[in-house]
Amino acid sequence: MNISKKAEGSKLTVVIEGRLDTTTAPELESYMSGVLGGAEPVKELVIDMEKLEYVSSAGLRVLLSLQKTMNKQGSMKVTNLNDIVTEIFEVTGFSDIFTIE
């Protein structure tokens, strides 16, 4: 999995590539806690999943945790879901929890 970010003021876009699963979910969780815990608070978080091939329940747990954090300090949306990830979100009900564009 590769993670990259682009900050624009209080807006942060995080691009996730590869697989978000049991092996890589802790890496994303650690990365995001460092980014969101910085001196400049993030008010708008965008998770770009255009190059995400797969997300497991461990990955969904990390995304849910991010959503809960952002509910306290701003907003979060996920963008550019492929068909596989979209289906996972729909089957698990996460499509009702997240703002998806």
Domain boundaries, the chain: 2-100
Copy the structure tokens of residue 26.
């802790």
pLDDT, tens digit (0-9, with 9 covering 90-100), for 35-65: 887 767 899 999 999 999 999 999 999 999 9
Per CATH, is 2-100 categorized as 3.40.50.300?
no
Predicted TM-score of the model (pTM): 0.92
- Please state the three-class secondary structure of 81-96 as a single string: CCHHHHHHHHHHCHHH
Query: Cα–Cα distance between 78 and 90 in angstroms, integer?
Result: 14
Residue 59: its pLDDT value, please?
95
Instruction: Provide the CB-side half-sphere exposure for 77 (13 A, CA).
Output: 7
